[in-house]
């Protein structure tokens, strides 16, 4: 699963008392889970990211390999996304990574397409290519083939580039190809959300 949903229900004498009970429990959950809570009711991760980008007046370009455009799809499902989302590049092949994102042949040769170095170069390339404040990238092995002993199915790198920061996270997911793509897209959006909360 890419997220955990908690449903709160309460029984009281009237609606006002019920709402007060729920609000108290909701606040307690938020105080314990802190920034692990991204929304309430029907909020989605991409909607929260959209709100944060809009509030901070920041623009974003995305470079995707293993997710094949899923992150861009989620972001463009949000009405008004053209104010912050400028470019989505699906660079699936090594040639595309070099040509469209200026990933170096050296990084691909030394570290492979699924690596911290290439993820960082992809994020940097996306930001520069789109002339945006932020670049977000993902590269990984969605399976079922393409794995090695060192790089198993589900290994993913997610990177964020800004003018001042270049961060990259390594994560390992389980499941089939579709599940790994979904988990990767959600993790990437969550990493961006957490980054935006402290910037």
Q: Quick: pLDDT tens for 94-151.
A: 999 999 999 999 999 999 999 999 999 999 999 999 999 999 999 999 988 888 888 9
| Residue 85: band (very low, low, confident or very high) from pLDDT cuts 50, 70, 90 | very high
37, pLDDT greater than 70? no
> What is the helix (H) or strand (E) element at residue 136, kind and residue range?
strand 134-140
Cα atoms in the 13 Å half-sphere on the side-chain side of 175:
12
> How large is the average pLDDT for residues 176-192?
96
| Residue 12: band (very low, low, confident or very high) from pLDDT cuts 50, 70, 90 | confident
Planar angle of CA 99, 101, 103, nearest 5 degrees: 85
pLDDT number for residue 38: 59
Residue 102's region, left for phi above 0, alpha for psi from -120 to 50, else beta, is: left
> How large is the average pLDDT for residues 47-57?
95
CB distance 60 to 132 below 8 Å: yes
Q: What is the CA 150 to chain-centroid distance, rounded?
A: 24
Whether cis (ω within 30° of 0) applies to the bond prior to 145 is no
Q: Rounded to two decimals, what is the model's pTM?
A: 0.84
């Amino acid at each position: 699963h890419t997220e955990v949903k908690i449903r709160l229900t309460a029984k009281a004498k009237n609606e006002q008392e019920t709402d007060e009970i729920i609000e108290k429990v909701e606040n307690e959950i938020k105080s314990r889970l802190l920034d692990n809570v991204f929304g309430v009711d029907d909020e989605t991760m991409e909607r929260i990211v959209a709100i944060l980008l809009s509030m901070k007046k920041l623009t974003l370009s995305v470079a995707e390999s293993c997710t094949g455009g899923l992150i861009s799809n989620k972001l463009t499902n949000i009405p008004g996304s053209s104010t912050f989302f400028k470019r989505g590049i699906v660079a699936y092949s090594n040639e595309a990574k070099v040509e469209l994102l200026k990933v170096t042949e050296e990084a691909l040769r030394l570290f492979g397409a699924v690596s911290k170095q290439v993820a960082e170069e992809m994020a940097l390339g996306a930001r520069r290519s789109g002339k945006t404040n932020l670049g977000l990238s993902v590269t990984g092995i969605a399976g079922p083939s393409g794995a090695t002993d060192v790089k198993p199915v589900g290994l993913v790198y997610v990177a964020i580039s800004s003018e001042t920061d270049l961060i990259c996270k390594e994560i390992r997911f389980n499941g089939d190809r579709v599940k790994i793509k979904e988990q990767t897209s959600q993790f990437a959006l969550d990493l961006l959300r957490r980054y935006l909360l402290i910037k």
